[in-house]
Structure 1
């Protein structure tokens, strides 16, 4: 019908939820000058007839699911083209050189696609070009020419934005970048690992620059002092490079700086006090360098800073926050860990009421925890471990409503450990290495507190230890005797040891509770068996019964692994096993089953990918997804770092994340779990298995299991939660993965890949911003931050992935920032 509107000049259908492809009949609108189809969920190829509408001056179909090639003669058939936006789709092939025939072209957006080949060297002839976005593709440098095409763009004297990030460019960064348009406001070339060379000292020529991203490359050399001439610069990202030398004091001249990230380089020397001149700075990261000296007091006068990370350097002296005059009231994260700072913890930190994360571990701090910390009710993560702190642990920590991680281990704390709230959870509080600390939960392994003579106390403690050892030895001998005796029984004997640790339940009871394992009670099927919903006759408890298919190779070993693992772990975000059954059925056939607590809200898989027969589509909000991600990360971190020996889950995926009636996550299915040896990885006698799409790539080349394998699976799970797409989706083929999909869209195009069910929340956030409201602000920023964590966790090389402790910390910080903005 639209094709009949022969006089139509402009058509905009942006930001709708259409299905299917672009109608070919739009090609009949011969007078059409303006066509806007962005963010409409369209798929398929663009009809060739669209490219023949010669009157078009704007053609935009960005942020869809379109694919195919851009016609090689596009610039000839669309001679009046001024704006062409195709970013955030799945276009592939080479970028047509004919774009230069559209001499009026001002903006060309091809980012976040799958374009390959080289950048046409004749783009420099587009004298009206103001914006060129080629980021997030698979473009390469021309053989022998390196990044020479940048030099040709110096002819585009009106160029405002140039985005070349996240491609496969290689070669030396040309000095000619300093000769780009003096109107240039944004230049991004990060995420090209094979770009080398140095930042040209003439960079100061780009006087209008407000965003400069040269991160995650192989750039060396020093930061040129001339960068201080860029007075309009608000965002500077030079992290993850090989930059050395000192931080130039001229950086302090850029008083409008909003974000300064220089982490993961080889910078050395002290921090210039001039960095305290930033009146608008929100994020400063200098971590993981070789900086030393005292931290300048001026740094703690940054009144708008949210994130200050100075960790993993060699700073000495005291933390000068007492001299800040209470200016850092907006601070959300402070990280000074892994330095050589000394003295007492400044009481002025108690004025940072918004503080959610405080990392001061691995320093030389001494004295007690300041009483002013009682004001830090927003704390989520606090790590003071590996210092020389002393005194009693304050009771007020048990009243902190958001505190989820408290590490006070390896200090000199003494006295009675508080017992309220957080101190009741041994999986999130750590106090080991404080020999004069007593009380608390028995899982913490602290001695009981006694009143009286110290020598008597020591004697009682010694007697208690000897008695405990004797009881343990006697119990062990009795258990071995009972086990050997049970081995000789013929009727219901089994070669599995671990089921003896659980209460007995008969086959008849399980059969009755599941209506004889009726298909109507079937709630799931896995690699080694089926799961049924049941009601135990004894107490009416609702349970999930996992019946092993013993005909499947490895099922019995899976059963043993799950029994052994769940017998040794306790965490609120791990599935709880109620009992096991190892016997024979009514036909005399071996029967093995595990009985778990029932999860009312099913699995994360069902929420992310609801079946067609579900009456209504289930949708998770952003905060629900953040909570689930944090809970799963906490569970895996517990397995990796706080179990002895450490445990690798081995099969982390959405179907193994179960949700109870309060939507609290519980990680389940430990059939492939393995205990790590002291060397932190071991060979599996079963061979390394897992689920396609989630299993780490290195597992395909070795039978070594590792914590990094779990991190990879978690990263894929995070990306699936953000995009709503499974890693086995049909769109992922020919070596194109969910990791690549997300990585190539970051950071500018995160909106293109998020789960469509989150779009209403994003839109509400945008409306809130427009109305100058706080509620909802930060949705896109949070999604971007989570996506970045997922990308790092799912890197191909295990050495490039984070550890689960860091993953959990980052997710906590993202959630806290989202809730408090």
Structure 2
């Protein structure tokens, strides 16, 4: 009898290990439930939660699971979900039980602080997987080769981890991939040319890594791609002309690399050379090639495209701006820190949707056109140029304008203009103004006012005290006279006051210590004001 009982126990144990611990075999619903319970245990779920799930008739009743025909097919445990669990930093071994649920098609564990290397074995069992999101965890190490055996995978997101090493060329085997996100890791070496085999790819994001060498010349074979982001790497060489073959591309981001050569002359044909492609195809609307080493002039053809966002700042571009650039759909234009010159095109007022215009750090000259105030801008930065005039446009009617930076130009005489009452950042420093603005008291949202390094004379008016929102006031290096108005030190938001290099007299007010407000840095002001 004892021998029979022993044999029975051994048989039960054999069945249990046969179905649960043998990775290559199927796992029936009861086995799937046990895998989920072990997963929850390794993930440090609370005892009460484990008890409630233990009492479930099957694993399909677990709140983070979806089933089909009594088989678990989806696991949803991403952080933004209402089912966010208070995990106590589980390690990557938490994945091991899940490898036994061979029916899985969807696995979402993003932003759960899981740490460690991905298991070398197990991914091959998930042969039906179509969606895999491990983003925003603390995974490290290289990618296991079995991961690239998931031939039905359509979405793979490993962004925001610490993976390192080369991107394996086996990635080209995942021919069903439509969305690939590897951003924010430590991948290095070249972009594998096998990526061009992913004909179904719509989004490729390899940004914020340490990838180097040149962009594969055959990227034009990614005929379905509409979003290509290779920004913040160490890529070198020229932008391959094959990109012009991408008929569906609407976003190209190559910012912050080491790309060289002339500005690509083919850029006006990015959507193909079909005569009516603008009206029949999805056009390239977002172009960011900033922070590279590109040279040359602004291509005429590029200016005629239907862009919403253009950022070419921090390159070595030169020449004047073509009038065609300012189309109706343009929302953001940044050409900062290049060598552009000449006057602003007179048809800039056509860009009626423009919200941000950044032309700082160039050699533009001439008068600032009055019609620029008719555009409903949120941000206008024309600093560090050669604009000159003794009058400025009247910005008072622009209810959206938050940031105005006209510093380091050649403006002179009185500041005889009105600024929008919504403006929070106003910089007029390093010009040749001779008087203090007379119409600042209605600017009820002003936080930063800089009129330093000018030729302003006279006394500092008490009217400045009516701007109760001021956090930063910089009037250094002028010719201000008289005493400092006591009321300035009653501005409870004021944290930085610079009146140095003037001709002020008298004692420093005793209520200087009343300045107790909390300051926003200029960067915070910039980032919080527009979007």
* Structure-2-length-normalised TM-score: 0.70
Mapping for residues 245-264 of structure 1, pairs under 5 Å: 245-255=296-306, 257-264=307-314
Counterpart position of 1:92: 164
Distance across 1 between alignment mates of 2:173 and 2:445? 59
Match of 1:201 among 252, 256, 265: 265
Distance across 1 between alignment mates of 2:244 and 2:220? 9
Closer, same or farther: CA 403–44 of 1 in aligned 2, 3 Å: same
Deviation at 1:430, TM superposition (A): 0.5
Match of 1:812 among 483, 500, 525: 525
Any idea what the Cα deviations from partners look like across 1:635-689, whole Å, max 9, x if unmatched? 6x96xx9699xxxxxxxxxxxxxxx9x99448xxxxxxxxxxxxxxxxxxxxxxx
Distance across 2 between alignment mates of 1:418 and 1:188? 48
Match of 1:75 among 135, 141, 148: 148
Counterpart position of 1:401: 444
Query: Aligned to 1:9, what secondary structure does the other structure show?
Result: strand
- Matching of residue 327 in structure 1 with residue 371 in structure 2: no
C-alpha RMSD of the superposition: 4.1
- Matching of residue 36 in structure 1 with residue 101 in structure 2: no
Mapping for residues 585-596 of structure 1, pairs under 5 Å: none
Counterpart position of 1:417: 460
Counterpart position of 1:353: 399
Closer, same or farther: CA 387–206 of 1 in aligned 2, 3 Å: closer
Distance across 1 between alignment mates of 2:168 and 2:453? 62
Match of 2:478 among 420, 426, 433: 433
Q: Do the aligned residues in 1 keep the contact of 2:382 with 2:406 (CA within 8 Å)?
A: yes
Distance across 2 between alignment mates of 1:353 and 1:242? 37
Larger proportion of helix: 1
Distance across 1 between alignment mates of 2:490 and 2:164? 47
Q: Do the aligned residues in 1 keep the contact of 2:139 with 2:161 (CA within 8 Å)?
A: yes
Distance across 1 between alignment mates of 2:516 and 2:312? 39
Any idea what the Cα deviations from partners look like across 1:368-399, whole Å, max 9, x if unmatched? 333534xx2222232333434345642x4245
Closer, same or farther: CA 301–426 of 1 in aligned 2, 3 Å: same
Any idea what the Cα deviations from partners look like across 1:187-217, whole Å, max 9, x if unmatched? 3333222x333444334443179xxxxxxxx
Closer, same or farther: CA 42–301 of 1 in aligned 2, 3 Å: same
Distance across 1 between alignment mates of 2:436 and 2:107? 69
Match of 2:132 among 59, 81, 102: 59
Query: Aligned to 1:382, what secondary structure does the other structure show?
Result: strand
Distance across 2 between alignment mates of 1:157 and 1:309? 33
Any idea what the Cα deviations from partners look like across 1:426-483, whole Å, max 9, x if unmatched? 9614064236x54434999xxxxxxxxxxxxxxxxxxxxxxxxxxxxxxxxxxxxxxx
Distance across 2 between alignment mates of 1:664 and 1:203? 49
Closer, same or farther: CA 309–86 of 1 in aligned 2, 3 Å: closer
Deviation at 1:56, TM superposition (A): 1.9
Distance across 2 between alignment mates of 1:124 and 1:247? 29
Counterpart position of 2:210: 138
Distance across 2 between alignment mates of 1:367 and 1:419? 22
Deviation at 1:423, TM superposition (A): 8.3
Match of 2:235 among 169, 190, 195: 169
- Matching of residue 239 in structure 1 with residue 290 in structure 2: yes
Any idea what the Cα deviations from partners look like across 1:536-581, whole Å, max 9, x if unmatched? xxxxxxxxxxxxxxxxxxxxxxxxxxxxxxxxxx9999xxxxxxxx
Distance across 2 between alignment mates of 1:294 and 1:152? 40
Match of 1:24 among 79, 96, 121: 96
Q: Do the aligned residues in 1 keep the contact of 2:236 with 2:260 (CA within 8 Å)?
A: yes
Distance across 1 between alignment mates of 2:218 and 2:366? 51
Counterpart position of 2:336: 287
Q: Do the aligned residues in 2 keep the contact of 1:426 with 1:443 (CA within 8 Å)?
A: no
Match of 1:157 among 212, 223, 239: 223
Match of 1:338 among 384, 387, 391: 384
Distance across 2 between alignment mates of 1:133 and 1:184? 13
Q: Do the aligned residues in 1 keep the contact of 2:106 with 2:130 (CA within 8 Å)?
A: yes
Structure 1: where are the runs of 5+ without partners?
210-225, 445-569, 574-626, 645-659, 667-806
Query: Aligned to 2:71, what secondary structure does the other structure show?
Result: coil
Query: Aligned to 1:315, what secondary structure does the other structure show?
Result: strand
Q: Do the aligned residues in 1 keep the contact of 2:379 with 2:530 (CA within 8 Å)?
A: no
Closer, same or farther: CA 335–42 of 1 in aligned 2, 3 Å: same
Closer, same or farther: CA 32–643 of 1 in aligned 2, 3 Å: farther
Equivalences, count: 442
Match of 2:191 among 94, 116, 119: 119
Q: Do the aligned residues in 2 keep the contact of 1:398 with 1:418 (CA within 8 Å)?
A: no
Deviation at 1:812, TM superposition (A): 1.8
Mapping for residues 490-529 of structure 1, pairs under 5 Å: none
Match of 1:187 among 244, 252, 255: 252
* Structure-1-length-normalised TM-score: 0.47
Distance across 2 between alignment mates of 1:245 and 1:99? 36
Deviation at 1:351, TM superposition (A): 2.0
